[in-house]
Structure 1
Amino acid sequence: MRAEPLLSIGAELGEGPIWIDDALWFVDIKGRRLYRHTPANGALDQWDAPEYIGWVVPSVHGDLIAGLQSGPHRFSPETGAFAQIAEIDAHLPANRLNDAAVDPAGRIFFGTMDNDERAASGRVYRLDAGTVSATAINPVVITNGPAIAPDGTRLYHVDTLARTITMHAIDAAGDVGAAAPFLAFTGDEGHPDGVICDSAGGVWVAFYGGWAARRYDADGRQTDEVRFPVSNITKIALGGADLRTAYATTARQGLSAEALDDQPLAGDVFTFPVTIAGTTIPPANS
């Protein structure tokens, strides 16, 4: 299967696609911009962020929570205003928030990383009812995901530079257990980037530098592969009326002028159909 172009964005670092109600939300991290695409009418709305922005998720308060460089913020689409909830890694000014997921209890699990992609300063945190705590997942240079299983009992964490994905149990209190190997990749596939879980517990992995996204079942067996006309695939979201339309963000970051000539659609948003539906994203409890 091949992905088809959907939105011409040319994002430096497109990321964080998520289906909320009837719209696709996503960001350009390095462009400091938040987007909302409404397929029903073709609208594309956008807001500038005051810092690097990695993700947004819905909130029980009816607004959104956004992951800015300095920490999670409450975001109002009506006013465009951001209000900080908590400060993260204040002692690490080169760090930024990168990716996130919400579990069925409304807890947000999110990762940080060194923006220069050198120091192993990336941690995975939990935001639960307004309180932030660090999980026991070991620090890495680039955290990605996490993805949360539909029943909320498993978390999948990506160490992008090590090209590995580990699985961690989540207990009733939201504490994350020790790492168990799930997937490991060679240089041929590119680097695993964003991950999500579908309604059957399958894991979709986007490959940065890999020209593809792939789905693996809960036992780690590859079931699907989708090829792209661009190399840097960053994350997949499953949305649409039946949650069977995939949306993928991509990036221009790191591509040479020659590569960009060969990949004029780099940084755009793509789409393709899937057989197994996604899940409705629960609102965060913060």
Structure 2
Amino acid sequence: MTDHNVRTLLPVQATLGEGPVWVGRDRALWFVDIKSRHVHRVDPATGAVRRWDAPDQVGWVLPAADGGMIAGLRTGLHRFDPADGSFTFIARAQGDAAGNRLNDAATDSAGRIWFGTMDDAETDASGRLYRFADGAIVDSGLPPVCITNGPAIAADGTLYHTDTLGKTIWRARIGNDGTLGPAERFVTIEDDAGHPDGSVVDADGCLWVALWGGWGVRRYDPAGTLMGTVTLPASNITKIAFGGDDLRTAFATSARKGLDDAELAEQPGAGDVFAFDAGVCGLPVTPVVLP
């Protein structure tokens, strides 16, 4: 990867920016600040920005097929209405650890939500990956880890699931009924390169991985070969999303969380949202299908 025209889209200085998603119907990027409990929307064409307060830590928002939005709060899945800022409870994962919160999510081509939980204290291996379909939340069956991330889903139905502290990304095939096939290791991030955070798959089937502590994102081909790296002006990159009318712009969220005063002085853009020219197309986000 060469010149990607990296730029700052929004100098928001999020504590823990996460969950960027391009919602094509309103031609805007949505993302959250988990720790500040904010939902953000920005229109790159006009620069218009809106922000909503969430009632608890919010890991992500996704578009729903009925025109609404679905939010993943610490307390479970909720309908989110941007018109009045309300959050209405839908469901929560039964039996999930009390100290967990929701962390990251994606939809597959059938409109199912795949989302992970994690130990909010970042110490216990209590995080699990779930799917939401037909109004019910079901455990994916993958082994628990402390911090779940990703998930990312390819056009062929391959699901990528990240164990952030284990620095390993796993993958499995999604069956027609939503069950997962056997998981296999995809890549492990080497020492001193940061920890794998959120990820997304492009139209060529390659996986883009944000690096917490790694100052950028990596692109891997389906065989797990590193294709290239894009360096960004913040150390803690949390996730990217493809957007714009042609889905060729990559948007990256970042975080100030965990940085001391000296580190923040070194990277004044920490917590901002960045954009760069990906050089490839992304995949459109399938809206959530609700019962």
Q: Normalising by structure 2, what TM-score?
A: 0.96
Matched, 1:110 2:120: no
Letter in 2 for 1:59: A
| Aligned-partner Cα distance in 2 for 1:33–1:213 | 24
Q: 1:245 to 1:159 in 2, by over 3 A?
A: same
Tell me the SS of whatever aligns to 1:97: strand
| Aligned-partner Cα distance in 1 for 2:83–2:102 | 24
| Aligned-partner Cα distance in 2 for 1:129–1:218 | 30
Letter in 1 for 2:144: P
CA apart distance, 1:231:
0.4
* 8 A contact 1:70–1:90 mirrored in 2: no
Which residue of 2 is the match for residue 54 of structure 1?
A: 59
Which residue of 1 is the match for residue 13 of structure 2?
A: 10
Task: Give the CA RMSD over aligned residues.
Answer: 1.1
1:25 to 30, 37, 41: 30
Matched, 1:148 2:153: yes
Letter in 2 for 1:110: F
Which residue of 2 is the match for residue 259 of structure 1?
A: 263
| Percentage of pairs with the same residue | 51
* 8 A contact 2:16–2:35 mirrored in 1: yes
Q: 1:28 to 1:89 in 2, by over 3 A?
A: farther
Question: Cα deviations across residues 184-212 of structure 1 (Å, max 9, x unaligned)?
Answer: 11222100000111111110000000011
Question: Cα deviations across residues 111-145 of structure 1 (Å, max 9, x unaligned)?
Answer: 00001100100000000021111011100000001
CA apart distance, 1:269:
0.4
| Aligned-partner Cα distance in 2 for 1:105–1:140 | 26
Q: Normalising by structure 1, what TM-score?
A: 0.97
Which residue of 2 is the match for residue 173 of structure 1?
A: 177
Matched, 1:201 2:205: yes
CA apart distance, 1:263:
1.0
Structure 1 gap ranges (5+): none
| Aligned-partner Cα distance in 1 for 2:92–2:239 | 25
* 8 A contact 2:9–2:44 mirrored in 1: no
Give the paired residue count: 285
* 8 A contact 2:93–2:138 mirrored in 1: no
Which residue of 2 is the match for residue 223 of structure 1?
A: 227
Which residue of 1 is the match for residue 236 of structure 2?
A: 232
Which residue of 2 is the match for residue 126 of structure 1?
A: 131
| Aligned-partner Cα distance in 2 for 1:60–1:18 | 15
| Aligned-partner Cα distance in 2 for 1:129–1:277 | 30
Which residue of 2 is the match for residue 96 of structure 1?
A: 101
